[in-house]
Amino acid sequence: MLYHKKISVIIPCRNEEAALYSLLQKMPDYVDEIVVIDNNSSDNTYRVARANCAKVFKEKKNTDGIGYGFAHQTGLTKVTGDYIISMDGDDTYPVNSIREIVTYMEINSLDFVSCNRLPLEDNQAITTMRKIGIGILNSLIAFLYGYQFIDILTGMWVMKKSVVPHLNAFEGGWDYSPEVKLAALYNKEINFSEYHIPYKLRINGNSKLNMWKTGIGHFFFIIRRRFTKDNDLNKLHFKSYALNTARAFKALIFLLLLKIK
């Protein structure tokens, strides 16, 4: 527990036996509950989770073989903590940062924190092309929504249990990652912020993500959500909107220049 609050961790997994073992071995003792959601693994992910004191549930639903969002949503129905930490099971996210993130939320009365990886402490942890992709999506959101994200695609976020009923996020695949952050950001009942975390290079297993297919999918999903679920947003203040858009494109140009060098 932290601050007399129960701490729960949700870890969606598919074929992450090696990375999951390493991750669970590092889990701090103040974490009260670990919930692993096994999304159609064919390796020993389920057994590794059970052997390391995690509660394990299976979620078979998927969209074109990807059940990332379905796994997260199932996890939210299973956890019992006051604070819920969601993180990928690839052992690239810092479990030792949980205390400082919860402290940040307590001090600032926040309900939802997206844990941004940028700028990287290890520049090799994310490829240049992925950095450019993140920059493009951040810029798109700034243009459509008027808010400058630092890292819309992080696989780690923290929320209070009380905000779960207010989240309007139901995508079953990879799009759940940008969706849950946008849903939290623009809900009047949720106080949202970003918080920088260290992020490390993946060394166990292989990523399940197809970079180009997923990135293009995210791009059109964000546009679609803006003009459907989020079409009732108040008109953005022009000065703030223009400023955020300018900053977004400045950041994108910087990333492109890095690629050229």
pTM listed for this prediction:
0.88
141-182 pLDDT, tens digit each? 999 988 999 999 999 999 999 999 999 999 999 999 999 999
% of the chain exceeding 70 in pLDDT: 87
**Residues of 134-163 as b/e, b for ≥16 C-beta within 10 angstroms?**
bbbbbbbbbbbbbbbbbbbbbbbbbbbbeb
Inter-residue contact 13 to 41 (CB < 8 Å)? yes
pLDDT at 193: 96
Facing residues of 235 across strands? none
In the three-class reduction of DSSP (H, G, I as helix; E, B as strand; rest coil), residue 156 is classed as strand
Architecture of domain 7-126+150-210: Alpha-Beta Complex (3.90)
pLDDT over 60 (residue 5): yes
Torsion region of 84: left, alpha or beta (phi above 0 gives left; psi -120 to 50 gives alpha)? beta
pLDDT at 133: 96
Inter-residue contact 45 to 15 (CB < 8 Å)? yes
Enumerate the domain spans of the chain: 7-126+150-210
The pLDDT of 239-243, averaged and rounded, is 45
20-34 pLDDT, tens digit each? 999 999 999 999 999
pLDDT at 235: 40
